[in-house]
């Protein structure tokens, strides 16, 4: 996959406070990269630097392998914090302003985008009359002007009601699947990000503490009963009899049984009835929340 965004030791210091500390990350085409961290972890500052609205203290970043970002920023759409709208202008006029800014003379794209983000009925409304959810949609719509290859969205679901959250999530998934738009999304709402992202970056006190793919995350957070010190073939027979078919053998004889971890006692008894006494039997796998909270040093909001 081609790299869309690569940062190299990106750092931002305000006075004596290092807000973003040598962050190096790589986002590939088609990724939905979820940047997760508690409030004040440095997510927004990192995004501001990437979006070209804040200058890095040190380090560098490049889009599409191009070092001169002024050439590539037009291929990026940004929504940093709240949607920036002109309240006196209507939805359509706000879009037209950015159309003109990008030198797009064809107005058809405005209706297309408004339709795509689902606010075409409100196009004649002044933006000060819009609900927060509609403003977020319009913000995404503005970011989509010029049909960018990548969207940078900072807390796009912040303040939305549950229906609004689902709508925005579906919209972002649609953008990724149908239009092939690469997404960088930050959030402190863990559950929501976990439903969207294909890769995760955990940021804690400005440092990129961990990077993990969705599959790796599933693996790490998958609950299992681990059995050690027995012949795996004999264990397998017992498990099959118990209709526990989802298991695998790892690290020279340990058996991982992917099931409700409450069954560990029952498995132990079943093995004991056959004269098999394990050296150790226990449960493994953190839940999603625990995993991220550990990486972030606490303070995440689950939803």
Partner 1 sequence: MHNVISAQMYKCFKTKGFYILLMIALLSTVFDLIKVTTTLQSNPELKIEGFTSTYDALSGGLFLLLVGIYAALVFSSDYTSLSIRQIIGKGTKRTAYILGSLLTVTVVSLIISSAAYVAAFLRGTFIGSGTGTFDGLMMIRFLVVIIVFGFMYVAFTALIANITRKTSLTMLISIFTPPILQLVAVSITSLAKIDVLYDPITMMDVATSVKTSTQDYLIAVIIYFCAGILLTYMSIIVGKKKDL
Confirm or reject binding of residue 232 to partner 1 (CB under 8 A): no
* Residue closer to partner 1, measured from CB, 175 or 281: 175
Confirm or reject binding of residue 275 to partner 1 (CB under 8 A): no
Looking only at residues 95 through 134 of this chain, which bind partner 1 when binding is defined by CB under 8 A?
96-98, 100-103
Among 66, 88, 216, 241, binds partner 1 (CB under 8 A): 88
Name which of 256, 182, 181, 186 is nearest 220 in CA terms: 256
Closest contact distance (angstroms) between CB of 146 and partner 1 is 7
Question: What is the C-alpha to C-alpha distance for residues 173 and 198, in angstroms, rounded to an integer?
Answer: 11
Among the residues of 36-179, which ranges form H helices? 43-50, 69-72, 91-101, 108-117, 132-144, 162-178
Size of residue set near partner 1 by CB under 8 A: 36
Looking only at residues 32 through 51 of this chain, which bind partner 1 when binding is defined by CB under 8 A?
48, 51
Closest contact distance (angstroms) between CB of 179 and partner 1 is 18
Confirm or reject binding of residue 138 to partner 1 (CB under 8 A): no
* Residue closer to partner 1, measured from CB, 21 or 192: 21
Question: What is the C-alpha to C-alpha distance for residues 21 and 69, in angstroms, rounded to an integer?
Answer: 21
Confirm or reject binding of residue 23 to partner 1 (CB under 8 A): no
Q: Which residues contact 222 (CB under 8 A, 6 or more apart)?
A: 258, 285
Among 39, 58, 84, 129, binds partner 1 (CB under 8 A): 84
CB atoms within 10 A of CB 168: 23
Name which of 53, 73, 194, 192 is nearest 143 in CA terms: 73
DSSP code per residue over 226-240: EEESS-HHHHHHHHH
Element at 196 (helix H, strand E): helix 190-196
Confirm or reject binding of residue 5 to partner 1 (CB under 8 A): no
Name which of 18, 26, 22, 9 is nearest 65 in CA terms: 26
Closest contact distance (angstroms) between CB of 203 and partner 1 is 18
* Residue closer to partner 1, measured from CB, 143 or 190: 143
Q: Which residues contact 21 (CB under 8 A, 6 or more apart)?
A: 11, 42, 205, 206, 207
Contact segment (CB under 8 A) with partner 1 among 82-90, 212-220, 241-249, 274-282 equals: 82-90
Confirm or reject binding of residue 163 to partner 1 (CB under 8 A): no
Among 76, 224, 225, 255, binds partner 1 (CB under 8 A): 76
Q: Which residues contact 201 (CB under 8 A, 6 or more apart)?
A: 25, 33, 34, 35, 36, 208, 210, 211
Residue 300 per-residue DSSP state:
P
Contact segment (CB under 8 A) with partner 1 among 94-102, 155-163, 194-202, 291-299 equals: 94-102
Confirm or reject binding of residue 175 to partner 1 (CB under 8 A): no
* Residue closer to partner 1, measured from CB, 48 or 226: 48
Question: What is the C-alpha to C-alpha distance for residues 45 and 56, in angstroms, rounded to an integer?
Answer: 9
User: In the complex, which residues of this chain contact partner 1 (CB under 8 A)?
Assistant: 48, 51-55, 70-74, 76-78, 80-82, 84-89, 93, 96-98, 100-103, 142-143, 145-146, 152
């Amino acid at each position: 996959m081609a790299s869309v965004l690569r940062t190299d030791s990106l750092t931002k210091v305000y006075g004596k406070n290092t807000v973003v500390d040598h962050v190096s990350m790589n986002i590939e085409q088609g990724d939905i990269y979820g940047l997760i961290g508690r409030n004040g972890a440095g997510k927004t500052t990192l995004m501001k630097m990437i979006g070209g609205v804040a200058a890095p203290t040190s380090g560098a970043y490049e889009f599409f392998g191009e070092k001169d970002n002024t050439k590539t920023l037009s291929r990026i759409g940004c929504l940093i914090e709240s949607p920036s709208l002109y309240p006196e202008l209507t939805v359509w006029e706000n879009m037209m302003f950015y159309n003109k800014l990008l030198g797009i003379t064809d107005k058809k794209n405005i209706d297309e985008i408004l339709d795509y983000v689902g606010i075409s009925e409100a196009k004649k409304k002044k933006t000060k009359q819009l609900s927060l959810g509609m403003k977020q949609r319009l913000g995404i719509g503005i970011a989509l002007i010029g049909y960018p290859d990548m969207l940078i969205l900072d807390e796009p679901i912040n303040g939305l009601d549950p229906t609004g959250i689902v709508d925005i999530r579906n919209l972002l998934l649609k953008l990724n699947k149908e239009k092939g738009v690469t997404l960088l999304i930050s959030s402190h709402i863990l559950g929501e990000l976990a439903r969207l992202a294909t890769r995760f970056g955990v940021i804690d006190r400005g440092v990129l503490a961990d990077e993990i793919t969705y599959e790796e995350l599933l693996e790490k957070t998958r609950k299992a009963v681990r059995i050690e010190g027995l012949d795996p073939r004999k264990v397998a027979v017992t498990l099959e009899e118990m209709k526990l078919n989802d298991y695998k053998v790892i690290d020279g004889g340990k058996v991982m049984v992917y099931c409700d971890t409450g069954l560990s006692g029952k498995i132990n008894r079943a093995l004991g009835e056959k004269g098999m006494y394990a050296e150790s039997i226990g449960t493994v796998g953190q839940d999603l929340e625990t995993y991220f909270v550990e990486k972030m040093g606490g303070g995440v909001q689950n939803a």
